[in-house]
Amino acid sequence: MRAARRNSEIGPETRPGAARPGHRAGPRRVLAALKLYWILASASVRAAMQYKFDFVTSSIIQAVTGAIDYYFVAVILWKFKTIAGWDIYEVGLLFAVSKIGIGIYRVFSEELEQFERYMVTGDFDSVLVRPWPSLLVVLSRRVDLSRLSLALQGMGVAAVCVPQLLRSGKLTWGDIGFLALACACSAVLFFVVGLAAASAAFWITRIDELQVFTQNAPATATLHPLEIYPGWLRVVLLTALPFGVGNYVPVRYLLGKGGTWMNLVWPLIACAVGLTVSLKLWHAGEAAYQSTGS
């Protein structure tokens, strides 16, 4: 009886794994949460910038490593001219949209990539005692500006490829806005898959291999035209792991390689559906979470 009374006094909102009022936030609470995120994220950036040498070194290494991906493709295209009917500038546009998307995602959601640690060490307990949505707290703990190097890679490649495609008439100036939208959708879809993979940690704890399988490998695959892959893999990259919806689907239409105007709408639909599903998965995992007691 005493234990039951203590639990009732504590209230469900303070027990790890329990649903909390923050999940059904009104406009005022949402604004307060966003203000909190800004404060915590700014503190994270200031802390990171205290180690400027590490920041610069990390950014350079990531930029060089990522540029190698396109370098190898460019060498092949320089020799064979096209891959599945895509020339070097068209493939470069695919690369640019994807890299800008993943760069934006990694800047603001790097902590999701390390979420296994929260389950293994029990750090998620400290997240749950905060009077704010747990996802907001996790995301605000780290804003990794060094990941901007990924987005800068994409912008650099786009700066080379887009003028060439405009000159050749394959793109128009009106398409630039749709390309920007494609980059934003690509970032959201990376977040969707990253959040879903992180949510799996609530049940299986160890997710390193899952993240490689669901994010790293598919993200690399969509740097190239999907025509070079077997049919089953194309289906996966357009549905279960929809990175191809962010770059390949709109870029294919804009370059006149097929599709309809719906190619520009599908990324928005995929983002809406993906966010709904991944957020529900996160909340379900949070409700099922059992404290490690450490």
Three-state DSSP string of 153-220: HHHHHHHHHHHHHHHCCCCCCCHHHHHHHHHHHHHHHHHHHHHHHHHCHHHHCCCHHHHHHHHHHHHH
- With contact defined as beta carbons under 8 Å apart, do 205 and 291 qualify? no
How many residues appear in the chain?
294
13 has pLDDT over 50: no
pLDDT category at 55 given cuts 50, 70, 90 is: low
17 has pLDDT over 70: no
- With contact defined as beta carbons under 8 Å apart, do 164 and 74 qualify? no
15 has pLDDT over 60: no
Beta-carbon contacts of residue 267 (< 8 Å; ≥ 6 apart): 181, 182, 185, 186, 189, 245, 246, 249, 250
pLDDT for residue 116? 95
pLDDT tens digits for range 188-245: 999 999 999 999 999 999 999 999 999 989 998 999 899 999 999 999 999 999 999 9
What is the DSSP code (8-state) at residue 12? G
Residue, of 286 and 28, whose pLDDT is higher: 286
User: Residue 136 and residue 227: Cα distance in Å, rounded?
Assistant: 38
Residue, of 75 and 118, whose pLDDT is higher: 118
- With contact defined as beta carbons under 8 Å apart, do 215 and 236 qualify? no
6-20, 59-73, 201-215, 276-290: segment of lowest average pLDDT:
6-20
Helix (H) or strand (E) holding 86: strand 86-87
pLDDT for residue 37? 74
- With contact defined as beta carbons under 8 Å apart, do 88 and 78 qualify? yes
pLDDT category at 82 given cuts 50, 70, 90 is: confident
pLDDT tens digits for range 135-166: 998 998 888 887 888 898 899 889 999 999 99
pLDDT for residue 4? 39
Residue, of 263 and 43, whose pLDDT is higher: 263
Number of alpha carbons in the 13 Å side-chain half-sphere of residue 192? 26
DSSP sequence for 251-273: HHHHTTSS--GGGGTHHHHHHHH
Residue boundaries of the structural domains of the chain? 26-288
pLDDT tens digits for range 1-11: 333 333 333 34
User: Residue 270 and residue 162: Cα distance in Å, rounded?
Assistant: 25
- Tell me how far CA of residue 183 lies from CA of 66, 89, 112, 131, 238, in angstroms: 17, 17, 20, 33, 16
131 has pLDDT over 50: yes
pLDDT for residue 59? 64
User: Residue 102 and residue 188: Cα distance in Å, rounded?
Assistant: 9
Burial zone of 50 (CB within 10 Å; 0-12 exposed, 13-18 middle, 19+ buried): exposed
pLDDT for residue 291? 79
The torsion defined by the Cα of 68, 270, 24 and 128, in degrees rounded to 10, comes to -30
Other beta carbons within 10 angstroms of residue 200's beta carbon come to 19
- With contact defined as beta carbons under 8 Å apart, do 96 and 163 qualify? no
19 has pLDDT over 50: no
Mean pLDDT value across residues 168-194: 97
pLDDT for residue 75? 75
User: Residue 238 and residue 222: Cα distance in Å, rounded?
Assistant: 10
pLDDT for residue 147? 83
Q: What's the whole-number average pLDDT of the chain?
A: 84
pLDDT for residue 293? 57
pLDDT tens digits for range 22-54: 445 567 766 776 777 777 767 666 666 666 666
User: Residue 150 and residue 102: Cα distance in Å, rounded?
Assistant: 7
263 has pLDDT over 60: yes
* Residue type (1 letter), 107: V
